[in-house]
Amino acid sequence: MMQTTSHRVVLPFYFYAALAFLAGTVLLFDAVPVFSGHFFHPKLLAVTHCMALGWGTMMIMGAAHQLVPVLIEGKLYSNLAAYLSFGLAALGIPLLIYGFYTFSLGHTAQLGGILIVASIVVYMINLAMSMAQSNNENVHAVFVFTATLWLLATASLGLALLFNFTTLFMLKDSLGYLSLHAHMGIVGWFLLMIMGVGSKLIPMFLISKYTNTRLLWAIFILINLALLSFVFLNLFIAPGILHLLPLLAGGSAVALFGYYCFASAKDRIRKKVDEQMKLSLLSVLLLLIPMVLLLLVVGSLFVYQKQQNTLVLAYGFLVFFGWISSIILGMSFKTLPFIVWNKVYHQQVGLGTTPNPKDLFNSTLFRIMALSYVPGILIFTSGILFRLPVLLQIGAAGLFISALFYNWNILKILNHKAVKA
């Protein structure tokens, strides 16, 4: 029997994430003038952490509370722990973002960081206990839990860097660890989690019979090999040709995951792919672009002996507003309608006609969201690469409009009332 978590646990994460996405686009528009400078800027740090924590992490944590019981064919260990995890993060994230925006990295930002780390610890223990009391282990659950370990490592390092700003106690200044902190989060948390969850959801939503557990284990090993080697090289080895090894391992994993998605789509029973899945599958393509930019960034280190700020800015933007956002924008309208439908109609199943979960959101609003999102990404990226403020403003406006329509549709789903047969 499929296990589900109470909607009361999951829905606050979705709502918070939607508001954070809107806030992230506002911060992005405000940060347009600083995109011509160095990537280490208070406003850019605020945008990045709003998108990484408020948008991406809160959405994924919420979805994981719903999905993990399905993966392990068990139940969530503690709803109370899930509420606590949400509350700690919901308080900590705005404190941290405010600290970055004002570049006041003292007590307020540090308290925010502590609350976020505490939230992740509670979340990780809840997942661990849920998996421990279940007899069903599978590769998807291993992806999810390992990603959570990387999230804790990322947040713990980030908290250490916060304190290191005010009281230097680490071997290097905080800027020297920034790349390590960023990629532990991008690859260890987001990439590993999205691949683990996506390899389950994509075939399921496509109604595909494709499965390849050995391929998924190969992807899992390559991602963790890339991460561990990157950490070791970053800490102990001076920049050189060896630093291409993590990129090679990670690129191979991404290529294999792309093949997995292609094979799932090829073997699908449902031939017509809906718009939500198209937007989610677009994220696979949007992942390739940052990979190319990262290769160019590494190459510039060899050729010019310094980082190219423009490439770094484009890379970071496409990771958070492109790759991560596109899969969330698509999957939100595959998962949230089902959760709300189950909340509203679970007692009416078999007693009469009920609407389809996809009828809970407005397809016109979804199309407007998508049609403002995709050009917004392309125009803003062009603005970064060509250093044209007008393109940055137009692109940021497009993303803001996309976030507005996303929130409108999310609120429509959350406020859905039972339709009488």
For residue 28, the domain's CATH number is 1.20.120
For tokens 């060899």, what's the residue?
A: 302
Decide if 216 is inside a domain. Answer: no
Read off the DSSP letter of residue 318: I
Decide if 414 is inside a domain. Answer: yes
**Dist CA 370 CA 364 (whole Å):** 10
For tokens 């294999």, what's the residue?
A: 256
Question: pLDDT tens digits for 103-136?
Answer: 999 999 999 999 999 999 999 999 999 999 987 7
Decide if 24 is inside a domain. Answer: yes
Decide if 301 is inside a domain. Answer: no
Decide if 87 is inside a domain. Answer: yes
326 contacts: CB under 8 Å, gap ≥ 6 = 279, 280, 282, 283, 286, 373
Contact present, 253 and 194 (Cβ < 8 Å): no
Closest CA to 191 of 100, 252, 130, 277: 252
**Dist CA 243 CA 232 (whole Å):** 10
**Dist CA 397 CA 32 (whole Å):** 11
Decide if 421 is inside a domain. Answer: yes
- What does the block give as tokens for 78? 């503690």
Domain boundary, last residue among 116, 137, 158: 137
The alpha carbon torsion through 25, 116, 56, 217 (nearest 10 deg) reads 160
Decide if 388 is inside a domain. Answer: yes
- pTM, rounded to two decimals: 0.94
- What does the block give as tokens for 18? 């939607």
When divided into structural domains, the chain yields a total of 2
Radius of gyration of the chain (CA): 21
Read off the DSSP letter of residue 415: T
One digit per residue, pLDDT tens: the chain, 421 residues?
445 788 999 999 999 999 999 999 999 999 999 998 778 899 999 999 999 999 999 999 999 999 999 888 889 999 999 999 999 999 999 999 999 999 999 999 999 999 999 999 999 999 999 999 987 778 999 999 999 999 999 999 999 999 999 888 888 888 889 999 999 999 999 999 999 999 998 899 888 989 999 999 999 999 999 999 999 999 998 877 888 899 899 999 999 999 999 999 899 887 788 888 888 777 777 777 777 777 777 666 555 445 578 888 999 999 999 999 999 999 999 999 999 998 888 777 666 678 888 899 999 999 999 999 999 999 999 999 999 999 999 999 999 999 999 999 999 999 998 876 5
**Dist CA 390 CA 371 (whole Å):** 20
Domain region containing 382: 308-421
Residue length, the chain? 421
Domain boundary, last residue among 137, 156, 181: 137
Residue 187 CA from chain centroid, whole number: 10
Residue 158 CA from chain centroid, whole number: 17
The H-assigned helical ranges of 169-274 are: 178-183, 192-206, 213-236, 244-266
**Dist CA 247 CA 295 (whole Å):** 8
Decide if 223 is inside a domain. Answer: no
Count of H-run helices and E-run strands, the chain: 15, 0
Domain boundary, last residue among 92, 114, 137: 137
